[in-house]
Amino acid sequence: MISRRAFLGTLVSGGLLAAPLAAQAQQPEKVWRVGYLGNTPLTDPVMAGYFEALRHGLQEHGYVEGRNLVIERRFSGGVDARLPALVAELIHLKVDILVTAGGPAAVAAKEATATIPIVMAGASDPVKRGLVTNLARPGGNITGIEDYLTELNVKRLELLKILVPTMVRVGVLTNVSNWEPAKRAALRKEQDAQAQTIGVAMFYVELNAPSEFDSATAAIIRGHPDALTLASSPINFRLRNEIAEFAIKSRLPSAGAFRSFALAGILLSYGPDIAVMFRRAADYVDKILKGAKPGDLPIEQPTKFELVINLKTAKILGLTIPPSLLQRADEIIQSWIGGHSSARWRVVSSRRRLSSRRSSPRST
């Protein structure tokens, strides 16, 4: 016969105490809500690859969509004016953190909230833009990766100059609508000064939306340039096939920041590996969700830069690529399958990533 004291002891240890423990064990896992603000929709295969790098990075940290992660996606479709409304939608959805792709998206997010953490998956000149106070201690609610694309403009001019030694006038297809006028003027003054050091004068044509493509390219032709460079703007990324076709038809040697530009038919590209930056953005998200303050996390700069040369475009334009430059290239695009801007390109060289080229954008 069991005693009253023994019965109560059994009840407490096996029942009353076990019930709270079981309830605690069955508590649902917190679902984090990440807002993603970008320009180009994921129907673009290149952008889909970048986004997949972000998602894969989050998975490596244990964040899985459908289990403990929801990613709310918004895209401007090449119209920066839409970004404020899109970021407002994400804020209304009570996201825990914002991830932005490109400078315009980062500016829109920064202007919309001072409390929700923001991680930049690439943005040019964050200090000059006023996004952060400095790179080592950003302060405020924003951090992430600087893409270094604007700083590499002069390097791309130098590479074009090797291919077109007679080049003295260059058209720049740009979009700085999200820059304050004074900062935009300062940026162009700096770029003009850099171009003058290699004997080149630049003129700028703005392309702010897909609807402006025809007028912008007509303005380029009227400027009688010897070559064309593409600013690292989201709209240029989205319209890269159309721009490449225009440059080839107009017999303009061209240069841009992204590997995808060269794959589209642009003569050469030089810039960081964007997929790596999206992957690194996931590390920032993880740190912040675990309690780190964005303003205390230093902004990273890319350490790996790619030179890609489209040899087929060079042949169409009648240009000879010096063997020394071919040897320095990370990737050479040899030929295409088809005959227009939507054609698939055949890459025939393997990538050669030299350690010296990883450390400095000016070493190539």
How high does pLDDT run on average in the chain? 85
Residue with tokens 């893409």: 147
What's the token pair of residue 85? Answer: 């409304």
pLDDT for the residue numbered 20: 55
pLDDT score at 354: 33
Q: In this predicted structure, what is the pLDDT of residue 343? A: 44
Q: Determine the pLDDT at residue 3.
A: 54
CB 335 within 8 A of CB 314: no
Residue position matching structure tokens 């309690």: 291
Q: Look at residue 153 in the predicted model and tell me its pLDDT.
A: 87
CA-wise closest residue to 37 among 129, 112, 99: 99
What is the residue whose two structure tokens read 């790098």? Answer: 53
* pLDDT per position as a tens digit, 70-128: 999 999 987 888 999 999 999 999 999 999 998 889 999 999 999 999 999 988 889 88
pLDDT at 2: 53
pLDDT at 6: 53
Q: What is the pLDDT of residue 147?
A: 87
- Tell the residue number behind the tokens 């649902």, with chain if given: 28
Domains of the chain: 32-147+274-296 (3.40.50.2300), 153-273+304-359 (3.40.50.2300)
Give the residue among 181, 204, 207 at the shortest CA–CA distance from 191: 204
**Burial class of residue 193 (count of CB atoms within 10 Å of its CB; 0-12, 13-18, 19+):** exposed
Task: Tell me the residue length of the chain.
Answer: 364
Residue 209 has a pLDDT of 85
- How far apart, in whole angstroms, are the C-alpha atoms of residue 118 and residue 168? 41
b (16+ CB within 10 A) / e for 237-255: bbbbbbbbbbbbeeebbbb
Structure tokens at 335: 């030929």
- The pLDDT score that the predictor gives to residue 25 is 53
Picking from 288, 344, 261, 334, the residue whose alpha carbon sits closest to that of residue 98 is 288
Residue 90 structure tokens: 């994400």
- Cβ neighbours of 103 (radius 10 Å): 29
Please say whether the beta carbons of 227 and 195 come within 8 A: no
**pLDDT means over runs of 10, the chain (364 residues):** 51 50 62 96 94 97 97 91 96 98 93 97 87 92 90 90 95 77 76 88 91 96 96 88 96 95 95 94 98 96 90 95 93 64 46 36 36
What is the secondary structure of 17-39 as a DSSP string?
A: THHHHHHHHTPPPPPEEEEEEES
**Cβ pair 121, 98 in contact under 8 A:** no
CB 270 within 8 A of CB 152: yes
